[in-house]
Amino acid sequence: MFESAELGHSISRNEWKKELPPLREALLDAQLELIQSRKFQVVIVVAGIDCAGKGETVNILNEWLDPRHVETHALRELTDEERERPEMWRYWRALPPRGKIGIFIGTWYSPPLLENVYAKTKNAELDQQLERIVHFEKMLCDEGALVLKFWLHLSKDQQKKRLKKLENNPLTRWRVTGTDWEHYKLYDKFRQVSERMLRTTSTPQSPWTIVEGTDPHYRYLTIGKAVLNALRGRLDSTAPSSAPEPVPPIMPAVDDLLILRTLNLDKKLYKKRYESELEKWQGKLNLLTRDPDFRKLSVVITFEGNDAAGKGGSIRRITQALDARQYRVIPVAAPTDEEKVQPYLWRFWRYLPRKGKFSIFDRSWYGRVLVERVENFCSRNDWLRAYGEINDFEEQMVRNRTVITKFWLSISKEEQLKRFNEREKTGFKRFKITDEDWRNREKWDEYEVAACDMIDHTSTEIAPWNLVEANDKYHARIKVLKTICQNIEKVLKK
């Protein structure tokens, strides 16, 4: 795989002087067009062998481009904040918005590579990590991002020469560490694992470009031209950034039997029993958060359901049992301008809690397969692929010891009408009812089908849906509290 990157590629000084000015001008023109159009974001991954010129290459790209619209991330050691989140959280936070270029020199490839080289993980685990990376990059490309990946390579002899040259120069000696020499001793292992990694993750949407790093002029021109060609190709294209993929259709039930229609909405809890149960389960929840082991996990609770089904009331009964410093309630509405220029899940990744904390979502990432599907705010292909993306998102949380509890609060159409009318007549509840609620009611059947499809495709063994009969608010609130307590207790006992 690396044979062509060990041939001694080089560019003469005259050729360098001839080609550099038009390249820089063209790059700036393309970047300006990107900034003005805000059609897509560019993610540039610069990885490779130690001392192959990664840092110098990133510096050159910043010099050639307008650095005000370039975000450079050299992510190395994990911070305490990052250690408490899923492994990809730090990269999601650093993604550039549309119209900007993000350059990553410390990337999602570094940990899997190092762990496998140093025998901390076996090949099977490496393959699983690489498969998750492929899913991540595919999601970025499907969301419209241009992902460019460059691997800078040196032969073993060239790496040794480079290390000695840097070490012998008093001005650059600081750049060579004991770790660099340790990696050099493991060169053959690094090469073997790198080949496996590049072979697995070089996809049609985001292929690797392998560049020999010996001659800086060759390296800079090769990468500069590759960036320019990719930018111009995307900017000049009139076709969609990614062709729609064939997807299996979602077939309606031939007998018209939907899971939400099987719920017994007549379940009821009388006030006296409710007050007793409320005290019991709120107390239980509070005690669970005081368990010393609770600081080793986090909790994410999502609420979806019919309008006026009691999501807000259920959330208040949860927060009453918690220390205000432990939780954050995130009401999800239409995306802001900041959120619209990022991949869809970005707005939710940013709110994932630290260890010992709760994030409670009033509406959630399921909006893509509910309101966006029904109201045609996204394409059919977008919401169909969202099922897999959401399952992957939740799996990453669970691997990080996050307790995910998902609720669908269900009420009858008649109960919803009763609550709508009550809200309109009650002054302090009037803010809860909007014209949009009435419009959504007209599409009751469409939302019901979308919700049932959502449950079928995203109720997994690690993050199942909890369907709550909510015609009676007392019954719904107790079922919610009880379910949360049971889920936390289950993880604490593991």
- 244-271: string of b/e by CB count within 10 Å (b at 16+)? eeeeeeeeeeeeeebbbeebebeeebee
pLDDT tens digits, one per residue of 441-492: 999 999 999 999 999 999 999 999 999 999 999 999 999 999 999 999 999 9
How far is residue 491's CA from residue 478's CA, in Å, rounded to a whole number? 20
User: What's the pLDDT at 75?
Assistant: 87
Would you call 305 helix, strand, or coil by DSSP? Answer: strand
Q: In this structure, what is the dihedral angle of CA atoms 187, 188, 190, 194, given to the nearest 10 degrees?
A: 130
Would you call 468 helix, strand, or coil by DSSP? Answer: strand
180, two tokens:
């660099």
Furthest CA-CA distance within the chain: 89
pLDDT at 422 over 60: yes
Nearest Cα neighbor of 284 from 464, 487, 465 is: 487
User: What's the pLDDT at 244?
Assistant: 57
Strand partners, 299: 358, 403
pLDDT tens digits, one per residue of 231-278: 999 999 886 655 555 556 676 766 778 999 999 999 999 999 999 999
pLDDT tens digits, one per residue of 85-98: 999 999 999 999 99
pLDDT band at 424 (very low <50, low <70, confident <90, very high): confident
**Pairing mode of beta strands 42-48, 327-331:** unpaired
User: What's the pLDDT at 241?
Assistant: 55
pLDDT tens digits, one per residue of 308-323: 999 999 999 999 999 9
- Whether residue 42 contacts residue 341, with contact meaning beta carbons closer than 8 Å, is answered with no
Q: What sign has the CA pseudo-torsion 307, 308, 314, 316?
A: positive
How far is residue 105's CA from residue 89's CA, in Å, rounded to a whole number? 16
How far is residue 483's CA from residue 317's CA, in Å, rounded to a whole number? 13
DSSP code per residue over 124-174: HHHHHHHHHHHHHHHHHHHTT-EEEEEEEE--HHHHHHHHHHHHHSTTTGG
User: What's the pLDDT at 375?
Assistant: 95
Domain made up of 262-492: CATH architecture: 3-Layer(aba) Sandwich (3.40)
| C-alpha count within 13 angstroms, C-beta hemisphere, residue 89 | 22
The mean pLDDT value for 115-144 works out to 96
How far is residue 220's CA from residue 54's CA, in Å, rounded to a whole number? 10
* DSSP label at residue 336: P
What percentage of the chain has pLDDT greater than the value 70?
97
Would you call 295 helix, strand, or coil by DSSP? Answer: helix
Question: Look-up: residue for tokens 């993980």?
Answer: 121
Strand partners, 301: 360, 405
In order of 96, 129, 137, 247, 466, the CA distances from 392 in angstroms are: 21, 12, 13, 18, 19
pTM of the model: 0.91
In order of 50, 333, 414, 423, 456, the CA distances from 306 in angstroms are: 55, 15, 12, 15, 17
pLDDT at 396 over 70: yes
47, two tokens:
């990885």
The mean pLDDT value for 426-437 works out to 78
User: What's the pLDDT at 254?
Assistant: 64
How far is residue 146's CA from residue 134's CA, in Å, rounded to a whole number? 14
State the chain's mean pLDDT as an integer. Answer: 94
| Domain 3-236 classification at class level | alpha beta
pLDDT at 384 over 70: yes
pLDDT tens digits, one per residue of 146-201: 999 999 999 999 999 999 999 999 988 888 889 999 999 999 999 999 999 999 99
What percentage of the chain has pLDDT greater than the value 90?
88
How far is residue 207's CA from residue 290's CA, in Å, rounded to a whole number? 48
User: What's the pLDDT at 245?
Assistant: 58
List the chain domain ranges.
Answer: 3-236, 262-492
**Beta-carbon count within 10 A of 413 CB:** 12
Pick the more confident residue, 424 or 232: 232
Strand partners, 402: 298
How far is residue 9's CA from residue 211's CA, in Å, rounded to a whole number? 9
Question: Look-up: residue for tokens 């269900």?
Answer: 410
